[in-house]
Each structure stands twice: as structure tokens, then as C-alpha cells.
């Protein structure tokens, strides 16, 4: 039985943000399921604007970047010992805006428009029946403000409102680049949960993230810069011990809690 379900806006978010904890769960014999919500191909008839043309050119994938990232995701999840599934909603860069325009890069960091609001409820209706009642659902807290992450955060909130157990993971690499003030505002009224990692678990996470070579090229340019940033973040949140951090509505009693496994 899968007890940990990760809602991942894109192929890579769950592994980037929680890959160490997924490896830890696998070491303990527990299965994790990564459910990617925006795994759809570019819709027929979508005319790429400058954003998509640039993303495709810079990633080195000229036709369908999301499909390529799905193949990378299979490799990454295999390395971590996790299962994966995806919904075929198109990513924000493949969705036209309400006025019919293709989005530019600024439009990816928007507040939800009415089409995005409808997506929250459509995705909720898709994922809720697929998740066992006793599962812990890990959802992005929305650091960075990408509209797809905001949508999935809202899905997580709706699941929490239904009484599901939901915890919020810090979206990487945005979390590593967020100011203390942004982190404090985003996590107001929540309590941190540190998930301590062995050096081997952190190393496996970095290897798994390296499998998303198109994304590493876009975000960091070089694999070693990705490894450096993820390792630095892990040591910082763990106070010297590698860790990942989630946030929960549960009241903190005496310092960070480290649940086991995963
Ligand atoms: Zn993402």
C-alpha cells in the first residue's frame, strides 16, 4: 500500500524537492507515488509564442519538451525506487491566456485566472479518488509563485479541507533562493518538519535530479551547479545535517519533528 503520495506540478518537482525523503522511504521498504499533474503534450492547434520557442531551443528539445521530461522522470523515479503516474493537463507555457494570447515568461508567475481556477477543481476531481484515505499527501507550498505550483497548492488545500492528511513541501530550487521574509510569509501558521537524510540518500537525490538533463540545462546550465545548490540547501535547512523541509498544520511541541519513515 502506498502511504506517501507526492503531488508534483511538473515532472521534476517532487524529486527536486523531496527526492531524499523518497529515497529514505524506499530504504525503509515503503513505496512512494509521485503524481505529476501537468504532464500533457502541447495541445493540437497551440501556436508557440516566444516563451515556448525559447524554452525548446534552450533545452535542446525542439518538439515536445514535456514528453521528453516524462521520459527523464521515469529514470529519476527508478533511481529513487518510487512509482510515478501523471495527468495530461498542459503546463502553463502550453495554455493560452483568457485573451487568446500565448503566455510570455511573466505570465507564468501570475495569480490564478478563471481558467486556472477551473483547473484546480478538475485536477482535484481527478486525483482525490486515486489517493488512499490513509495516505499522507505531500503538496507544494508554492514558493517561487509559478502558477502551476499555485494551482497544485490549491488542490492540496482542497484535499486538506476534505480531511485528508496534507503536508507542504518547499519547492526547490525556489526555496533555496527565497528570502527569509518570503519563507516566513508563505509558512505563516505552519510548523516545520525536518526530514533528515543520510549522505547516500542525498547523493541519490542529486543523481536522480541529474536525470532531468533538459531541466538542469535550463535552470543551472551545468550539473555541478545543480548539485552544489541542492547540497547547500540540504545542509542549511538541516543545520549541518542534510535534510529536506516540509510544513504542517500540526502544532509544534518541542522543536522540529522527524517522522519515520519518509
Ligand atoms: Zn515546477
Q: How far is CA 234 from CA 23, 88, 203, 237, in A?
A: 14, 31, 11, 6
Is the model's pLDDT at 262 over the cut of 70? no
Flag whether 253 is in a domain: no
Rounded CA separation 228/244 (Å): 15
DSSP letter assigned to residue 12 = T
Amino acid 41: pLDDT? 86
192 lies in a domain? yes
So what's the pLDDT on residue 59?
A: 76
CATH number at residue 139: 3.40.50.10320
- Is 247 strand, coil or helix? strand
- What is the 174 CA–ligand 1 centroid distance (Å)? 10
- What is the model's pLDDT at position 62? 64
Ligand 1 centre distance from Cα of residue 9 (Å)? 5
Domain holding 205, by residue range, is 4-248
pLDDT at 258 over 80: no
pTM of this structure: 0.92
pLDDT category at 117 given cuts 50, 70, 90 is: very high
Confidence of residue 1 (pLDDT cuts 50, 70, 90): low
Rounded distance from Cα 215 to ligand 1 centre (Å): 10
List all residues 6 or more positions away from 223 whose beta carbon is below 8 Å from its beta carbon.
Answer: 210, 213, 216
DSSP state of 92: G
Q: How far is the CA of 254 from the centre of ligand 1 (A)?
A: 33
pLDDT, tens digit (0-9, with 9 covering 90-100), for 122-149: 999 999 999 999 999 999 999 999 999 9
Average pLDDT of the chain is 92
Kindly state whether residue 261 falls inside one of the protein's structural domains: no
Confidence at 68, pLDDT banded by 50, 70, 90: confident
Question: pLDDT tens for residues 157-183?
Answer: 999 999 999 999 999 999 999 999 999
In a domain, 154, yes or no: yes
CA of 204 to the centre of ligand 1 (A): 20
Q: Would residue 16 count as lying in a domain?
A: yes
In a domain, 254, yes or no: no
Residues in the chain: 262
Res. 49: pLDDT tops 90: no
pLDDT band at 2 (very low <50, low <70, confident <90, very high): low
Band the pLDDT of 55: cuts 50, 70, 90: confident
- Domains identified in the chain, total number: 1
- Residue 132 included in any domain: yes
Give a yes or no: residue 83 inside a domain. Answer: yes
Amino acid at each position: 500500500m502506498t502511504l506517501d503520495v507526492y503531488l508534483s506540478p511538473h515532472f521534476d518537482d517532487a524529486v527536486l524537492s523531496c527526492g531524499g525523503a523518497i529515497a529514505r522511504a524506499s530504504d525503509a521498504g515503503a513505496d512512494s507515488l509521485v503524481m505529476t499533474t501537468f504532464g500533457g503534450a502541447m495541445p493540437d492547434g497551440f501556436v508557440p509564442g516566444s516563451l515556448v520557442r525559447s524554452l525548446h531551443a534552450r533545452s535542446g528539445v525542439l518538439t515536445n519538451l514535456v514528453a521528453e521530461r516524462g521520459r527523464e522522470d521515469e529514470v529519476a523515479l527508478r533511481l529513487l525506487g518510487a512509482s510515478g503516474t501523471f495527468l495530461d493537463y498542459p503546463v502553463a507555457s502550453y495554455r493560452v491566456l483568457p485573451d487568446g494570447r500565448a503566455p510570455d515568461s511573466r505570465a507564468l508567475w501570475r495569480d490564478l485566472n478563471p481558467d486556472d481556477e477551473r483547473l484546480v477543481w478538475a485536477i482535484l476531481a481527478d486525483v482525490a479518488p486515486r489517493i488512499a484515505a490513509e495516505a499522507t499527501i505531500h503538496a507544494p507550498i508554492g514558493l517561487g509563485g509559478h502558477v502551476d505550483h499555485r494551482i497544485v497548492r490549491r488542490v492540496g488545500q482542497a484535499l486538506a479541507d476534505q480531511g485528508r492528511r496534507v503536508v507542504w513541501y518547499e519547492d526547490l530550487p525556489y526555496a533555496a533562493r527565497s528570502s527569509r521574509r518570503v519563507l516566513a510569509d508563505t509558512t505563516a501558521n505552519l510548523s516545520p518538519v525536518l526530514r533528515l537524510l543520510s549522505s547516500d540518500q542525498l547523493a541519490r537525490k542529486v543523481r536522480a535530479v541529474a536525470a532531468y538533463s533538459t531541466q538542469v540545462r535550463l535552470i543551472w546550465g551545468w550539473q555541478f551547479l545543480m548539485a552544489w545548490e541542492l547540497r547547500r540547501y540540504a545542509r542549511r535547512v538541516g543545520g549541518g545535517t542534510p535534510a529536506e523541509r516540509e510544513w504542517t498544520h500540526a502544532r509544534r511541541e518541542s522543536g522540529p519533528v522527524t517522522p519515520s519513515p519518509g
